[in-house]
Amino acid sequence: MNESPSERTGIITPFNVIAAVILAVGAVIILIRFVKGLGATTNLTHTNPWGLWIGFDVMTGVALAAGGYVTSSAVYLFGMKEYKPIVRPAILTGFLGYFLVVVGLIVDLGRPWRLPYPFVVQAGPTSALFEIALCVALYLTTLFVEFTPAAFEWLGWKRWRKVVVSMTVALTIFGLLLSTLHQSTLGAMYLATPTKLHPLWHSPYIPVHFFVSSIAAGISMVIFESMLSHRVFGHLVEISHVQFDNITVGLAKAGSVVLAVYFAIKVTGISLEDKWHYLSTPMGHWYLLELLGFVLLPCILFAVGFREKKTGLIRFAGAWTVIGIILNRLNVSIIAFNWQLPPDERYVPHWMEIWVTITIVTFGVVVFKWIVNRMPILYEHPDYRGMH
Amino acid sequence: MKISRRGFLHGMAAAGALATGTAKAAGHRKFDGYPGSFGLLHDTTLCVGCRSCEAACREVNNLPPVEVPVGDKDIFRKKRRTTEKAYTVVNEYRKATETTPAVYRKHQCMHCNEPCCASVCFVKAFTKTPEGPVLYDPDVCVGCRYCVMACPYYALAYEYDDPVTPRVVRCTMCYPRIKKGLNPGCSDACPTGAIVFGKRKDLIKLARDRIARFPDRYVDHVFGEHEFGGTSWLTLAGMPFGQLGLHDGATHTPIPEMATSYLSVVPLIVTIYPGLLLGMYAFTKRKEALALKEKNKAVADTLAKADEETKKKLADAAARAAKDKERAVNQAVKKAGAEAKKAAEKKEDEK
């Protein structure tokens, strides 16, 4: 049932061929990484121990997977029922996103088979990373459980579905709690590097910056991802164009407010710590580009899009915000990190690191496509129409 | 495995003492290092950049010998750092002039009193020993390299080329030798006495004494006495520490204190969120229920009103019908009377 046209025309499609090539080469690189070590596949050094796999796959990945907790909280806790059609795709994106974060982490860790050590061998609770590891493990599980009703509907396991659906509110609260904790603590990791991260990005408020921007990331990713889904899987989507556009316009309002708050706390932070003078330096210009070009600008675009009901503009602002969040996380983890070192001591990713990151993203897209083509994600299963 | 002591206490307290609930139990206390702990003093004004310490370090730690022979100054053309094969390196920070000698500084793990590496490790692989050295336990290390990333002195290295058992590598302050009553390899090898090993407290006194006796020779500061809570390695210099690749004017607050401050929020969120969110959920539900109730009431009211109007209309219609009937009857009676009268008159006429 519900096979997409591309699959009916066979397995050899341009998308599948390109994806297969990316995944095959990526698999070989990951093999090299595990046989010969991180040194053979990365540009990591003693001075720059964290590169793209942490900066993008983990730091950025977690932020971009925030759509799950943002939409499920809005619908199940705050009663915004009109957004229900976007919850399932957002939860699926979130689940796959976190799964890929763990995949990225496993590739990056020196001894990934010891990943459970903090919980089973020796705990280091003073580390922000300990809390993140615990939260991500629990939240990945939560997202998986939140995703299962779609799978159970597909499999026809009615009793199991009923059990999970009855836990919706508890799961949503747990998910919001865990997300608040680890989204902010990812920023708190950089509280330990006051001498290495540029003062404009390093701030005692960095946990708040990370948390609030993750909400903006979640909203923007939902706008961006639903636009793509409606283009690619249009035949699966049940809701009318008017309903879909109304949801997009509503999200724009939320996005505008969240980005305005984010902008305000960023500026407040600079004022409170009196960091204005840094703005006139080259790093300051780069910071202003991020703050004005990728926070304030999309904030205004969302507001205009909401007022004028221009969904095209809103979708552009959503994609722009996603780029802005990526820029921010890469700034904190790579670009503004070790900023005072001479160029030859700075980190630039190896092509194999970039390829593995692309591989991981591609893998996520392939699995998303496979699931959406089979399970009731973009439409309601006929047997459970109108039910929670 | 040693249970680490200090360095975690701050964090544990800040972590809201997850179990005990005594947040910042030791908040008003300050830790100045273990009393009687050892340290090393590097007097950069005495260092001639011979790199004997590098060679000795490699020897006592069973590392491959130095690639460039001791005394060869060509090596200073490039800035170097510690690696997995070199626990210590000497760099040149100012070239010799006709009147002043060149300035060198030795790099290695500083062995902080409150080590940043220890507080950020999520498996507690680092331990600050009462003797002074910070030790690392490769048996629990997961290889996340947060310690390497967090160290403010760029002192930690990682074995990137080992795919199976990569370790974090750094100076151990020759802990095994100290335990045997020996001096660290570098201090024994130093030909000019630029590296002195001893009790940290005595070394601070010695450093202060040198500054007092030769005020023109030294900057009036012992680096490592208080920086980020203090370090076991102390440095004396004749030029600003910032120009020696160290932190000028660094805070006395230990980095673990800054790094763990946020964790006190964790138990707050864990305890407040469920109630708060359930409350919000209840409000939403209540609002929905009230809205539904009001809607039902409005519908009922409307129906009732409509009902009343219909009844009234029916009654009016009935009354009207009754009246019409009466009128019709009367008319019929009148008509019948008139007709009877007419008929009677007609009969009279025929007679």
Q: Do B277 and A77 touch (CB under 8 A)?
A: yes
Token couple for B198: 């001893």
Ranges assigned E (strand) in chain B: 38-43, 89-94, 103-107, 126-128, 134-136, 157-158, 168-169, 195-199, 233-236
Contact B119 A130 (CB under 8 A): no
Q: Is A196 in Cβ contact with B143 (below 8 Å)?
A: no
Task: Report yes or no: A101 at the B interface, CB cutoff 8 Å.
Answer: no
Report the residue from B142, B247, B260 with minimal CB separation from A195: B247
Name the residue among B144, B148, B284 with its Cβ closest to that of A109: B144
Residues B145, B150, B151, B153, CA torsion sign: positive
**What mean pLDDT, rounded, does chain B reach?**
88
The CA distance from A39 to B148, in Å, is 15
Asked whether residue A388 is domain-assigned, the answer is no
φ, ψ (nearest 5 deg) of residue A202: -80, 125
% helix / strand / coil in chain A, to the nearest 5?
A: 75, 0, 20
Tell me whether residue A223 is exposed, middle or buried, using C-beta atoms within 10 angstroms of its C-beta: 0 to 12, 13 to 18, 19 or more.
buried
Instruction: Specify the pLDDT at position A286.
Output: 97
Measured in whole angstroms, how far is the alpha carbon of residue B254 from the centre of its chain? 14
Reference B52, options B41, B67, B66, B31; nearest CA is B66
B32 or A113, higher pLDDT: A113
Radius of gyration of chain A (CA): 21
Our CA-based measurement puts residue B283 at a distance from the nearest CA of chain A, in whole angstroms, of 9
User: pLDDT tens digits, residue range A308-358?
Assistant: 999 999 999 999 999 999 999 999 999 999 999 999 999 999 999 999 999
User: Each residue of A87-135: pLDDT tens digit?
Assistant: 999 999 999 999 999 999 999 999 999 999 999 999 999 999 999 999 9
Which value does ipTM take for this structure?
0.91
Contact between chains at A191 and B262 (C-beta distance less than 8 A):
yes
Contact B110, B222 (CB under 8 A): no
Q: Are the C-beta atoms of B75 and B102 separated by less than 8 Å?
A: no
Across the strands, what pairs with B223?
B235
- Residues, chain B, total? 351
Q: Is the pLDDT of residue B66 over 50?
A: yes
Q: Which two tokens stand for residue B333?
A: 């009676």
Task: Band the pLDDT of B8: cuts 50, 70, 90.
Answer: very low
Residue among B65, B223, B195, B201 at smallest CA distance from B132: B201
Which residue among B160, B165, B284 places its CB closest to the CB of A38? Answer: B160
Q: What is the pLDDT of residue B12?
A: 41
A18, part of any domain:
no
DSSP-assigned letter for residue A339? T
Interface contacts (A, B; CB < 8 Å):
187
Count the Cβ atoms, other than its own, within 10 Å of residue A84. 17
B120 touches chain A (CB under 8 A): yes
What is the structure's pLDDT at B120?
Answer: 95
Express each pLDDT in B124-168 by its tens digit: 999 999 999 999 999 999 999 999 999 999 999 999 999 999 999
Nearest CA in chain B to A47: B154
Instruction: Provide the token pair at A239.
Output: 């809701």
Note whether A78 contacts B: Cβ–Cβ < 8 A: yes
Is the CB of B82 inside 8 Å of chain A's CB atoms?
yes
Q: Do B154 and A133 touch (CB under 8 A)?
A: no
Cβ contacts of B123 on chain A, cutoff 8 Å: 114, 117-118, 121-124
Q: What is the pLDDT of residue B349?
A: 77
Q: What is the pLDDT of residue B46?
A: 95
Q: CB A129 to CB B8 under 8 A?
A: no
Residues 6+ apart with CB under 8 A from A23: A359, A362, A363, A366
Low-confidence ranges of chain A (pLDDT < 70): 1-9, 386-388
> Do A126 and B260 lie within an 8 Å CB cutoff?
yes
CA–centroid distance for A134 within its chain: 18
The confidence score (pLDDT) of residue A311 equals 92
Is residue A370 situated within a structural domain? Answer: no
Measured CA to CA, the distance from residue B50 to residue B284 in angstroms comes to: 75
User: Could you tell me which residues come within 8 angstroms of residue B254 by beta carbon, excluding any fewer than 6 positions away?
Assistant: B7, B10, B31, B112, B113, B114, B116, B228, B229
pLDDT digit string (tens) for B182-205? 999 999 999 999 999 999 999 999
pLDDT reported for residue B28:
67
Note whether B176 contacts A: Cβ–Cβ < 8 A: no
> Is B4 a residue whose pLDDT tops 50?
no
Residue B157's nearest CA partner among B72, B63, B44, B69 is B63
Domain boundaries, chain B: 32-253
- Is B148 near chain A, with CB under 8 Å? yes
Cβ contact A177–B143 (<8 Å): no
Give me the residues of B, 13-52, that contact A with CB < 8 A. 14-15, 18
Distances (CA, A) of B274 to A77, A169, A330, B278: 11, 11, 33, 6
Residue B33 CB: number of other CB atoms within 10 A? 22
A185 closest CA partner among A336, A59, A52: A59
Helix (H, G, I), strand (E, B) or coil at B115: coil
DSSP character for B235? E
Percentage of chain B lying above the pLDDT 70 cut = 91
Q: Which of B83, B123, B281 sits opposite A118 (nearest CB)?
A: B123
- A46 domain residue, yes or no: no
Residue B297's SS3 state is helix
Q: Encoding tokens for residue A27?
A: 């698999």
Tell me which residue range forms the domain holding A229: 52-348
For position A116, which CATH number holds?
A: 1.20.1630.10
Residue A284 located in a structural domain: yes
Other beta carbons within 10 Å of B340: 10
Query: Would you call B158 an interface residue with chain A, using a CB distance cutoff of 8 Å?
Result: yes
* Nearest residue of chain B to residue A195 (CA atoms): B152
B92-120 average pLDDT score: 93
Which DSSP symbol is given to B112? B
Question: How many domains, in total, are found in chain A?
Answer: 1
Summarize the confidence of residues B82-103 as an average pLDDT.
92
Lowest mean pLDDT among A169-178, A374-383, B285-294, B305-314: A374-383
**Looking at the predicted structure, is the pLDDT value of residue B6 above 90?**
no
Tell me the residues of chain B between 280 and 299 that have a Cβ less than 8 Å away from chain A: 280-281, 284-285, 287-288
- Is the pLDDT at B15 greater than 50, yes or no? no
Q: How far away is chain A from the Cα of B145, in angstroms, using its nearest Cα? A: 6
CATH architecture of B32-253: 2-Layer Sandwich (3.30)
Question: What local confidence, expressed as pLDDT, does residue B3 receive?
Answer: 41
Assigned token pair, B193:
């006495």
Contact B140 A127 (CB under 8 A): no
